[in-house]
Amino acid sequence: MVKVVKSPKKGLVRSAIGHFRAITEVAKVVVNPGTITVHYPRERRKYPENFRGMIMFEKEDCISCFRCAHICPANAIQMYPDDEGRYYPGIDYAKCIFCHFCVDSCPTAALKQSKIHDVAYKDVDSMSVTPEEMDNVPEIVREDAVTVEYDFDRDIRLVKRKEVENLLVEVDKPERPEFKAVPQYGENCIGCRLCMFSCPVNAIRSKLEETKVILETDYDRCTGCGICVRICPTEVLILTPVEREGDHQ
């Protein structure tokens, strides 16, 4: 249970053996070096598919749910409005710490990882990437002709392949049910209509019936982003998973 380490005894013979061993080991390495260097711009290290590199963005998939901006520990994501009033994320790479909490938070895989990790910016301002620029893959100069992969087989082995690796990763949509915002507890509604104004796809409509505001969700339009749910001060709207489209519970 307890292992005790002891300092070696000192002595002329022991130290002579120590000198001899160190010298022979170094001589061995001189003859047969164990170099593990990857000549980076000309060779590129192969990284796994889940590598947390630059974040790619698909505008079509984005539902403007603000989850990424909300979860970001470094406040690096800012939501920019477009002409239609919808908000899309833009990442400030000066702040980003590549924790990929945003990627893991994204319900539609609009934000996804890539293996790009070597982008240089001219100045701090250009590091703040807008959604329009995020749509494009960042331009990097590829000098590499060889892909190096570390492998282990009693000793380390550098597997070199003559190929140019695709740095973009194909990502499936995450496994999650489809959600719709359902105005479940209409009796709580105070008629502030914040949900209506905040909805990025105008899926919520309100009707005035006498003194009461009745909310109605257009389920074909609703993306289940949950902004209305978060903004509602009295918890009228609830995000509810649906089994099939149109068949909401």
Partner 1 sequence: MKTYTLDVPVTPPKEYESYFVPVPKEFLEDAYRSDDFVVFTGPQHGGSGHMRLIIRVKGDFIVEVIPDPGYVHRSMEKIAENRLYIQNIPLFERPSIIDFGNYNLGYVRAIEDALDIDVPERARYIRTILAELGRIGTHLYDAGILAVFLGHTTGFMWPFALREYIVEIFTRITGTRITGSFIVPGGVRRDVDAKTLDMIKRMLDALEFRIKKFERVFIKNPTTIARLHEVGVLTKEEAVKYGVVGPFLRASGVEYDVRKVEPYEAYEDIDWDMVIGEDGDGYTRFLVRVEEVGQSINMIRQLIEYLPEGEVLSSDIIAFNKNDIRGSFFEAYADMVLPEGEYTTLTEAARGTLLYSIISDGESTVPYRVRIVTPGWVYLKGFMEACKGHRLADLQAIYGSFGYFPPEADR
Partner 2 sequence: MADTASLVSILLDRILSIFVDEMINIPLINPIVERLMEIPFVNVIVAFILWKPIFHVLILPGLLGMTLALLFIIYFERKITARVQWRVGPKEVSRRTGGVIQALADGMRYLFQEVIVHRDANAFYFLQFPLISFLPVLLPLMFIPAGGTYGIKTIYTIPAALALISLIPVFIVAMGWASNSKFAYIGSVREAFMYFAYEIPFLLAVVAMIVLYQTPDPFEIVAKQWILGAVMNPIAFLAFFITVLIATSRLPFDIPEADQEVAFGPYVEYSGIIFGLVMMLPYEKLYLLSMLSVILFFGGWNGPEIAILGDLAPVIYLYIKTILFMCVVSLARSIYARYRLDQSLRLGWGVVLSLSMIALFISAGWAAWLRL
User: Interface with partner 2 by CB under 8 A: which residues?
Assistant: 22-23, 26, 29-30, 33-37, 39
Other beta carbons less than 10 A from residue 44's beta carbon:
23
Q: Confirm or reject binding of residue 159 to partner 1 (CB under 8 A).
A: no
Q: Which DSSP string do the residues of 60-121 spell out, in sequence order?
A: TT-----HHHHH-TT--EEEEE-TTS-EEEEEBTTT-----HHHHH-TTSSEE-BS------
Which of residues 30 and 208 has its CB atom nearest to partner 2 in the complex?
30
In the complex with partner 1, the residue whose CB is nearer, 104 or 245, is 104
Strand, helix or coil for residue 20: helix
- Rule CB under 8 A: is residue 187 a binding residue for partner 1? no
Nearest distance from C-beta of residue 164 to partner 2, angstroms: 20
Binding at 11: pick from partner 1, partner 2, none (beta carbon under 5-8 Å per type):
none
Nearest distance, CB of residue 158 and partner 2, angstroms? 11
Tokens 């002329």, located at residue: 12
According to CB under 8 A, which one of 26, 137, 140, 164 is a site residue for partner 1?
Answer: 26
Could you say which of partner 1, partner 2, none residue 176 binds, taking C-beta under 5 to 8 angstroms by partner kind?
partner 1
Instruction: Answer for the pair 113, 171: CB distance below 8 angstroms, yes or no.
Output: yes
Q: Report what 7 binds from partner 1, partner 2, none; CB cut-off 5-8 Å by kind.
A: partner 1
Q: What span, in angstroms and rounded, lies between the C-alpha atoms of 138 and 127?
A: 11
